């Protein structure tokens, strides 16, 4: 009996790995702005591209929808999320609550190895900026915040930060924030140095300023006011 279960278990692991690979490829394409907000994600087309069943693609899209990165519409299918202005502001409100807690925990649990990983990641981001690799800059900038949450050692915080980072990338694209100005590498460097000094209050202050800077670079006010139809149609 044991001999008959092992191949089945191995086959299940392979299926899960394939699902994870498809998920990561779609996730990265959204993060790097190769898939724009509002893009339709057709099951049949994705199944052909990845050589997978539609059922497997459907599972991946459901997972992304659960993380609010993809929106599922009945009878219409799946689309890359297109956050409204209110939703964009909600993302930043959530980040202002979560990220200071992430950095406090990271400072409390800091090791030389964790600091090295932060600095290695920052070196990759700086290199991407020197090469003007915009896709890599977008991805690495978002991943910096996810990495900090991962290193803090709380899986719930890490999962939340991963989702919020992708939603931030979508809003940056959707609301015309210049990539070079919205998530600046020098601000990441300052946060890392505050962490290295075990300066939790300083790191918290810097990340909040950083979030203000990102949100301030977006055009979130131009559609914030309700349209006055009477004014528009007044003859």
- Per the CB < 8 A criterion, the answer to whether 102 and 147 are in contact is no
- Per the CB < 8 A criterion, the answer to whether 133 and 34 are in contact is no
- Per the CB < 8 A criterion, the answer to whether 64 and 23 are in contact is yes
Which residues of the chain are in CATH 1.20.120.530 domains?
A: 85-216
Which residues of the chain are in CATH 1.10.10.10 domains?
A: 2-80
- Per the CB < 8 A criterion, the answer to whether 187 and 206 are in contact is yes
* Residue 119: predicted pLDDT: 97
CA distance 197 to 111: 12
* Residue 76: predicted pLDDT: 92
* Residue 183: predicted pLDDT: 64
Q: Give the global pTM.
A: 0.77
Beta-bridge partner residues of 73: 77
Helix axes 200-216, 85-108, angle to 10 degrees: 160
Give the residues of the chain that fall short of pLDDT 70. Answer: 1-17, 177-183, 185, 221-235
| CATH number, domain 85-216, options 3.40.50.620, 3.90.1070.10, 1.20.120.530, 3.30.420.10 | 1.20.120.530
Q: Look at the block and give the residue holding tokens 């930043």.
A: 92
Cβ-based neighbour number of residue 34 at 10 Å: 13
- Per the CB < 8 A criterion, the answer to whether 163 and 83 are in contact is no
pLDDT digits (tens, 9 = 90+) for 149-172: 999 999 999 999 989 988 988 888
Q: The dihedral of CA 42, 47, 53, 58: what is its sign?
A: negative
- Per the CB < 8 A criterion, the answer to whether 207 and 103 are in contact is yes
Question: Six-digit token pair at 235?
Answer: 């003859």
Helix (H, G, I), strand (E, B) or coil at 234: coil
Question: Six-digit token pair at 216?
Answer: 């301030």
**Closest to 31 measured CA to CA, from 85, 69, 78:** 69
* Residue 219: predicted pLDDT: 79
**Closest to 189 measured CA to CA, from 97, 121, 133:** 121
Q: The dihedral of CA 213, 215, 216, 218: what is its sign?
A: positive
Q: What is the CATH number of domain 2-80?
A: 1.10.10.10
* Residue 106: predicted pLDDT: 97
């Amino acid at each position: 009996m044991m001999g008959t279960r092992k191949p089945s278990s191995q086959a299940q692991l392979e299926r899960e790995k394939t699902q994870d690979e498809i998920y990561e490829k779609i996730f990265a394409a959204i993060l790097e702005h190769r898939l724009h907000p509002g893009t339709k994600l057709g099951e049949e087309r994705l199944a052909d591209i990845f050589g997978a069943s539609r059922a497997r693609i459907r599972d991946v899209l459901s997972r992304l929808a659960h993380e609010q990165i993809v929106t599922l519409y009945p009878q219409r299918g799946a689309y890359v999320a297109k956050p409204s202005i209110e939703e964009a502001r909600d993302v930043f409100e959530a980040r202002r609550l979560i990220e200071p807690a992430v950095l406090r925990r990271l400072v409390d649990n800091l090791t030389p190895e964790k600091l090295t990983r932060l600095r290695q990641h920052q070196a990759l981001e700086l290199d991407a900026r020197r090469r003007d690799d915009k896709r890599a800059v977008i991805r690495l900038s978002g991943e910096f915040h996810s990495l900090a949450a991962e290193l803090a050692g709380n899986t719930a915080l890490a999962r939340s930060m991963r989702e919020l980072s992708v939603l931030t990338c979508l809003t940056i694209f959707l609301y015309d924030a210049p990539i070079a100005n919205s998530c600046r590498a020098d601000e990441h460097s300052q946060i890392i140095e505050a962490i290295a000094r075990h300066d939790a209050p300083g790191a918290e202050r810097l990340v909040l300023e950083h979030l203000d800077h990102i949100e301030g670079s977006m055009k979130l006010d131009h559609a914030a006011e309700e349209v006055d139809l009477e004014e528009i149609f007044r003859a």
